Structure 1
Amino acid sequence: MSIRPWVVVEEPDDRGLRRVTVGSTAAGGVWSLRELRKLLARRGHPDVDVDDPAYVCWRGGGSDTWPDRAWRRRTVSALMVAGLLASAVLNVVIGRPDVFGALTFAQRLTGAVFVLSGLVLLASAAAAVDHWGKRQSRVSGAVTVLGVLIALATDTLLVLMWLDEREWTRYMLAFMPLWCWAVWALCLLLRERAWKGVPQPRKVAAGVVVSAVFTALSLAYSTMYAPTVAPLHLTLKAGFGAARADGLHPFLQVPLKLSVKNTGAFSVYIVIDDFSVYGRTARYSEKGDSSVDEWERSIDLDKTREDSETNVDQLYYTALSRGRFYEPGTVLESGQEDTREHVLQVPRNAKYDLLHVDLQLAFMRKDRGRIDVDAFGDQHPSWNVTPERFFCTVDWCRDRLLYLGRVRHNNNLVNVTHGPRYMLATWGIDAKYPFYSISTYHFEHPGPPPREKGKRELDRFGVSAVDTNAEVSMAELTKSIDVPRPS
């Protein structure tokens, strides 16, 4: 018989696990005497007398030394696994819309980073089971630490972005508790030095740091730099054609040609647009006096004009036509050009000396956000007020057509950390300038919509406006036809 017994039970480690060697082979670890008997039975020795020193050698305590606190170990393991699984689900939910729906490569990359981090967190959850179990893998502790660091970084980013507006969002019920969990989990793993047993831990740590830096740079590039530097231009043109006399009615038919072209690199949503044609009449002075007094009177009559013209004392503009080029929510692709021709009916005996057209258009960059086009395209007359909906009952937006739709940022991080945003646009024949805004206002919410446009929200979603204008003299329009000019 060999002097050394063929079953050796080592002393308990810091968690109460005792390693078992059968012969010269490591058989695993056990938490209790019952588990030891089961292990020996699986090895073909069900009848071993564990108290007989001829068969079993006990080191660091006998058969009655089992310091394991099973309830505590299982509770910690369950909390760790639950937190990692919840973080994995959250990261996949955040990243998935950007992977499949983002317009730019950088935004898709951001979504892919979150989805991949979710897969790493799933692997960390499996590693946590082993780390708080028999620890059959030497790297299970390090993988668990990596998962907790990823969860803490993600949740910290979400919390910081939430602090930007501090609005209620249902995702708060996930990332706020998970941030607290990640802090607790990291403190626990650091106290236990969970990375022990990993070969070359410094190189592993350096790899983790480098990966984190590249991930942070990718997020910063996609969320701040790329959307800011990408250029976008819309080219607007407006002009009048040669007038024709109406043979049946005392009117002149004046062609008006309008065109819009997207010369930028990204598609855009048309928020609201407007074209207005005015006939100008003026009071002329043969003395050619352009004094300061006359300029001040002209400013009092028309607050939008700041120029001065010799021989012209006062200017008056009469609205002749008003319309829209696009329906709200229309997508204008990169390189797309649209043209519209409109015919004006101008009275032959009108005292206009020239015609003036204003074309203005507000748009939102499609690489910054998405508009719920189906809802935004619905037309809501402000005068149709119902008890269920508050269709803009304040004076400044009465007698207008209203358009409202949900708008979502192309970076889903903003969507989950901020409350819902809605695009509101109004248009009316008596309003010189269309109104548009992005805010939390919704028709179902009481109270009037915001009066100001909210420049911060408009900049965040890349909302801008462009305009152009053109003028032509009536003498130029009618030079080829015989039209009596009024005295």
Structure 2
Amino acid sequence: MSIHPWVTVEPPDSRGLRNISIGGKTVGSAWSFRELRKILDRLGYPEDMDMEDPASVHWRGGDSETWPDRPWRRRAIIALMVAGLLVSAVLHLLIGWPDVLGALTFAQRIVGALFILLGALQGVAAVAALDYWGRRQFSLSGSIILIGALIALATDSLLVFLWLQEKEYTHYLLAFVPLWFWSVWALYLIVREKPWNEIPHPSRFAAGAAAPALLTAVGLVYSTMYQPTSAPIHFALRAEFGEPQKDSGLPFVYIPLKLYAKNDGGIPVYIINDNYTVHGTTVKYSEKGDWLEQWKTDTEEAEVYAREDRKDVISSGHFYGPGSWLESGEEYSKETVVRLPKNSEYDSIDVELQFDFMRKDRGKIDTSKFAVPRRSWSKNEEGYYCPPEACGAYLVYSGRVRHNNNLVNVTRGRRYVTAFWAPDVAPTVFISSFDFKRKEEGERIDEAEMEREKVRYGHQLAFFKTEIPLAGLLSRSSGS
């Protein structure tokens, strides 16, 4: 019979795992007496070896009956740790990926990339959890789990804070609220183990672990606060009437009209609604000069010898069209014709050019749906129909809008941008949670919410107006 080296079974650690050494060299670890027998069998020890014989086995910190491991508890901790870290990793990827692909600014893309990086770190932490609550073959596994739990707690706390501002239901709520409680539990569990004691330079490791969180915070503040505020928005609008043309065959005069717009600002914009309207105005005169009091009913203009009598819409239409956009420095012009009777009684004509636009660094519009007009008077337009006698007639443009910072999207309900246009009324724009396709009976748009969302998504209005005397314009006309 061959002589085998002396077997030493060390005391159980905090998890119940006992190291096994032979001749002073560690050969494995066991959770139970059965695992110990398997290790010895693999090393060639006889199956009938007397485990209670001190000459063969030396038991430290307990005997052959001392196996405090509770496998169900250990496996439950592993399952909860791995599940929480993986779910948190997926949440980080869902937050970061849209910003990496679609964010307008470099800073927002960096923030998205950082969220993906943090998600990847949590994926590594999920693998480390298998080792740390297993046989602990890697000294850094506990510290990696600590980083993963800290990342989850920081991100989920931020999401809960943002959600509490408006308390709207979102499917992500079912993820980040339970994850917040999970992260508190996971952090308590791993801190109690003090994993930093197993690394040579814990202070350097802590500084390295804090760097991603600091970069994320700086990038988030820059992309959501400083950059959108610092980048200017300016529109240059012009409109001018050309030389009228007469047609001997028809009792009309044709007045060319040139419209022009340029995005002079530093940020691209979406055109939500636009409109040009040409008015013809007739005026009443008074030689006494006693009509200055009209300012009480007309706060825009007041004259001593003249008073506006009637103002008619002569021509109206879209200029560029809802759902289009202008990049920074891009310009667009349009030429059209205004037709008037030769014997027109208008004293003057004017043109008003209006642009409702939204900053592209604040949000993204689903233009494929928004740019398609719906007719409010058509019963075939599901959700958008309204009886003309009650609502009038409008073209309705509506579509989903998403914030360029995806943290806002995951903590808010859906938002929609809607524009109404008709040739005889001022164009209107709404940005709110109101969905025309799913509206309920009696549901109305929340005015306070609408104004708040307009500010959040960077809605602005550009307006230009010019007016000229019709007599002077017609005196320049050519043709017979």
What band does the TM-score fall into relative to the shorter chain? over 0.9
Query: Is the CA contact 1:372–1:407 (under 8 Å) kept in the aligned structure 2?
Result: yes
**CA distance in 2 between partners of 1:424 and 1:396 (Å):** 19
Q: Render the CA deviation track for 1:206-246: whole Å, top value 9, x for unaligned.
A: 33234422321111111222122211222111111121222
**CA distance in 1 between partners of 2:390 and 2:360 (Å):** 30
Shift of 1:352: 1.6
Shift of 1:190: 2.0
Which residue does the alignment assign to 2:7? 7
Structure 1 residues 211 and 117, CA gap change in structure 2 (3 angstroms):
closer
My pick for the range that moved more, 383-392 or 178-187, is 383-392
Which residue does the alignment assign to 2:180? 179
Which residue does the alignment assign to 1:152? 153
- AA matched with 1:75: A
Structure 1 residues 80 and 139, CA gap change in structure 2 (3 angstroms):
same
Residue 128 in 1 paired to residue 129 in 2? yes
Query: Is the CA contact 2:108–2:219 (under 8 Å) kept in the aligned structure 1?
Result: no
Structure 1: which 5+ residue stretches go unaligned? none
Structure 1 residues 392 and 131, CA gap change in structure 2 (3 angstroms):
farther
2:472 pairs, out of 470, 476, 479, with 476
- AA matched with 1:478: L
Shift of 1:380: 1.1
Which residue does the alignment assign to 1:467? 463
Shift of 1:168: 1.2
Residue 164 in 1 paired to residue 156 in 2? no
Report SS of the residue matched to 1:454. Answer: helix
- AA matched with 2:184: V
Residue 442 in 1 paired to residue 435 in 2? yes
2:337 pairs, out of 317, 334, 343, with 343
Which residue does the alignment assign to 1:26? 26
Query: Is the CA contact 1:392–1:449 (under 8 Å) kept in the aligned structure 2?
Result: no
My pick for the range that moved more, 95-104 or 377-386, is 377-386
Structure 1 residues 402 and 449, CA gap change in structure 2 (3 angstroms):
farther
The root-mean-square deviation of aligned C-alpha atoms, in Å, is: 2.2
My pick for the range that moved more, 471-480 or 448-457, is 448-457
Report SS of the residue matched to 1:239. Answer: strand
Which residue does the alignment assign to 1:142? 143
Which residue does the alignment assign to 1:384? 378
Which residue does the alignment assign to 2:16? 16
Which residue does the alignment assign to 2:118? 117
Structure 1 residues 226 and 196, CA gap change in structure 2 (3 angstroms):
same
Q: Render the CA deviation track for 1:315-337: whole Å, top value 9, x for unaligned.
A: 43121111111221012222221
**CA distance in 1 between partners of 2:196 and 2:383 (Å):** 59
- AA matched with 1:469: K
**CA distance in 1 between partners of 2:295 and 2:140 (Å):** 82
My pick for the range that moved more, 422-431 or 312-321, is 312-321
- 1:36-51 counterparts in 2 under 5 A? 36-47=36-47, 48-51=49-52
Structure 1 residues 290 and 398, CA gap change in structure 2 (3 angstroms):
closer
Query: Is the CA contact 1:370–1:410 (under 8 Å) kept in the aligned structure 2?
Result: yes
**CA distance in 2 between partners of 1:294 and 1:161 (Å):** 51
**CA distance in 2 between partners of 1:326 and 1:46 (Å):** 89
Query: Is the CA contact 2:359–2:458 (under 8 Å) kept in the aligned structure 1?
Result: yes
- 1:267-278 counterparts in 2 under 5 A? 267-278=268-279
Q: Render the CA deviation track for 1:27-58: whole Å, top value 9, x for unaligned.
A: 23211111111222333335443222112111
Residue 325 in 1 paired to residue 326 in 2? no
- AA matched with 2:428: F
Q: Render the CA deviation track for 1:170-207: whole Å, top value 9, x for unaligned.
A: 11111111111111111112223233312222232233
Shift of 1:449: 4.9
- 1:392-407 counterparts in 2 under 5 A? 392=386, 397-407=391-401
Structure 1 residues 46 and 425, CA gap change in structure 2 (3 angstroms):
farther
Structure 2: which 5+ residue stretches go unaligned? none
Query: Is the CA contact 1:356–1:472 (under 8 Å) kept in the aligned structure 2?
Result: yes
**CA distance in 2 between partners of 1:197 and 1:356 (Å):** 80
Which residue does the alignment assign to 1:311? 305
**CA distance in 1 between partners of 2:77 and 2:476 (Å):** 92
- AA matched with 2:99: D
Structure 1 residues 479 and 376, CA gap change in structure 2 (3 angstroms):
same
Structure 1 residues 399 and 424, CA gap change in structure 2 (3 angstroms):
same
Q: Render the CA deviation track for 1:264-311: whole Å, top value 9, x for unaligned.
A: 2332211111111111211112233454x3433xx2xx5xx4222231
- AA matched with 2:132: H
Structure 1 residues 63 and 288, CA gap change in structure 2 (3 angstroms):
same
Residue identity (%): 50
**CA distance in 2 between partners of 1:129 and 1:176 (Å):** 25
Residue 356 in 1 paired to residue 350 in 2? yes
Structure 1 residues 34 and 239, CA gap change in structure 2 (3 angstroms):
same
**CA distance in 2 between partners of 1:323 and 1:394 (Å):** 20
Structure 1 residues 481 and 414, CA gap change in structure 2 (3 angstroms):
closer
**CA distance in 1 between partners of 2:419 and 2:76 (Å):** 54
**TM-score, normalised to structure 2's length?**
0.93
Structure 1 residues 288 and 91, CA gap change in structure 2 (3 angstroms):
same
- AA matched with 1:440: S
Query: Is the CA contact 2:375–2:384 (under 8 Å) kept in the aligned structure 1?
Result: no
Report SS of the residue matched to 1:342. Answer: strand
**CA distance in 1 between partners of 2:388 and 2:169 (Å):** 27
Structure 1 residues 94 and 295, CA gap change in structure 2 (3 angstroms):
closer
**CA distance in 1 between partners of 2:388 and 2:58 (Å):** 89
**CA distance in 2 between partners of 1:121 and 1:395 (Å):** 59
Which residue does the alignment assign to 1:222? 223
Structure 1 residues 73 and 294, CA gap change in structure 2 (3 angstroms):
closer
